[in-house]
Structure 1
Amino acid sequence: MRPRTGMFVIGTAAVLGAVVGAVALPDPGTSAAERPALNGTTPAPPGQASSPRPSSSSSQNSSSSQSSSSSPSTQGVSVDGPVTSANMLSNADLAGVGLTASPQPPDIRLELVGCDKLQTLDDIALSGPPVQRAWEGETVGVYEQAVAARDEDEAAQVARQVLSKLEACQKRSAGYWVYGATHSERIDRTTTASWLGQIDGSFNTAGRAPKVEKISGGTAVLRRGNHVAVLGINWCVSAGDEAACVAAGGDAGRQLAELSRRAARRLG
């Protein structure tokens, strides 16, 4: 069977059924050399490739850049302390990008999926348990996990490590799901967002995502101060083994990009 998805799976079975996804972004993306460094000094390295299991849009100029002397927080929450529920996406954020989904119980176990290894964000960050949220709609699932690193440098390193694991899935054997191009933005001095669309294996005929990406899901790596988060969206959730679709309808690329920016700002 062709594995199609790759970001989050639900450890406590059946909540969202087979979480299958892929997201394709309409533009060619930002190269590793061009995208902003996740720690403000050196660019994140590009990924290579690996293997399976089921579980953006154009880079634009950041909307508002704050000076280093101004507070990086827009939510009244410190970006240097522990992560709390105030640092996570809200129902209004989902509605604001056109996603209709209801919150799920907080005890759902979310796992970060590389091409060949299941890990949680706190495994990579070597931190305490993550704060996490999940939402489910008719065929859409949204999942967010966040942790606090010891300082901004460590947070930047964790973000790079996670992004590198995702970028390793941009090249895979034909027939396997792949991630599309990496899109990165520096939102302000302490805040970055990177996202990748996920492409169903039926569109992978050359070992990588086609130029015109047809996405069914997507993943974002976000950092603000010492807070790091991973966001996953799947537009093709179904209750059975087969995905409800292989490509999302509507403007999925824009939704992935905008929700990634919102989630990054929410981190502080």
Structure 2
Amino acid sequence: MNFPPDIFPPFPDMRPGEVWLVGAGPGDPRLLTVMAIHALRSADTIIHDALVDPRILRLAHGGAEIHFAGKRGGRPSPHQRDINELIIAEAKKQRRVLRLKGGDPFVFGRGGEEAAALVREGIPFRIVPGLTSGLTAPALAGIPATTRDTNHAVILAAGHRADEDRAAREWELLAATGQPIILYMALAQLPQITAAFDRGGLSPATPVAVISHATSESERVLETRLGDLVADVRTHGIEAPAVIVVGATASLRALLGPGMAKP
């Protein structure tokens, strides 16, 4: 890529037999990092998740092999072990391997598991962070992660295992902190999660915002309250992928949203 050398240091080469674990951001190609674009243009093999926008893959060079390795809740998906084996096999062929993941590879992206597998095989790798949807989607909808008037911390949580006893207790403890909670991959478990939040002391009047298909043409934002969340998601046909903001910051969309420039 041709970037001014007085601004950008030289980009590292993607070497044969090397794996780059790269975040593709929340979807909109304009939110890619320049390092991610460099990786896309350099890779011989690209192994990508379901949430990577197809337009992003068009940045690959013509000779690159592209493999789909998407995992979607409730649908047939490749096992993580199989994905690890594919990444390792391609690297051992001395190909330049790009493992492209929606959001950030180290935020609920199993990037740590894949990096550990590469370490065990002695395969060199590089991490290229991406914009995680849990922070980006709310921000673009007019919902700050923090403000001095509302919260001194924010919790990022994945909505898995919500029907297990231990997980239910963990949700109760998160609710008891009183800090805003940003949920990833939680639509399927909303009844269990909201029930645990109630037991943890969160008021049914707690503001909630749901951002579905963030940064895409299909994006929808639902503003509601915790007590109405499950019913409203069903009534309005909100679909995954979705990010859910529970807490005081969700109410700020009403103040900030109208003044924000549209994409």
TM range (shorter): under 0.3
Question: Higher relative CO (CA 8 A, sep ≥ 6), structure 1 or 2?
Answer: 1
Provide the TM-score with structure 2 as the length reference: 0.25
- Whichever structure has more strand as a proportion of its residues is 1
Larger Rg: 2
Provide the TM-score with structure 1 as the length reference: 0.25
